[in-house]
């Protein structure tokens, strides 16, 4: 009788902290910020976004994106620090959750 090889089982890839893929259906009851940036939808799940967590949103219109994120976080009582700049050669907005 031939010996069968064990096929390795791979774990599901871990989703980046605080960012949920577009393909996942969104629950309207959750604290979720949806930012449409030049055709790309970034989704920030405030419940999964830890304090002192960081997310970088690539964009050209920096002020518009920063305003959307701060407005949404203020609505849910979440404190964030938003700074625009260059990271790895891309313009964008960095968002840190402070409390």
Six-digit token string for 24:
């996942």
Rounded to two decimals, what is the model's pTM? 0.64
Going by C-alpha positions, the residue among 80, 95, 78 that lies closest to residue 37 is 95
For 5-35, the pLDDT digits (tens) are 665 555 544 444 455 444 444 455 567 777 7
According to the model, what pLDDT value does residue 9 have? 58
According to the model, what pLDDT value does residue 94 have? 92
Is the separation of the CB atoms in 78 and 53 below 8 Å?
A: no
What's the CA gap between 16 and 36, in Å, rounded? Answer: 18
For 43-96, the pLDDT digits (tens) are 888 888 888 999 998 888 889 888 888 888 888 888 899 999 999 899 999 999
According to the model, what pLDDT value does residue 1 have? 59
Going by C-alpha positions, the residue among 9, 18, 80 that lies closest to residue 46 is 18
- What count of residues does the chain have? 99
């Amino acid at each position: 009788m031939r010996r069968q090889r064990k096929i390795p089982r791979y774990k599901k890839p871990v989703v980046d902290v605080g960012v949920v893929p577009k393909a996942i259906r969104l629950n309207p009851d959750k604290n979720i910020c949806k930012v449409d940036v030049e055709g790309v939808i970034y989704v920030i799940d405030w419940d999964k976004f830890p304090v002192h967590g960081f997310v970088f949103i690539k964009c050209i219109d920096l002020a518009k994106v920063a305003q959307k994120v701060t407005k949404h976080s203020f609505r849910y009582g979440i404190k964030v620090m938003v700074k625009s700049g260059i990271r790895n050669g891309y313009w964008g907005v960095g968002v840190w959750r402070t409390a």
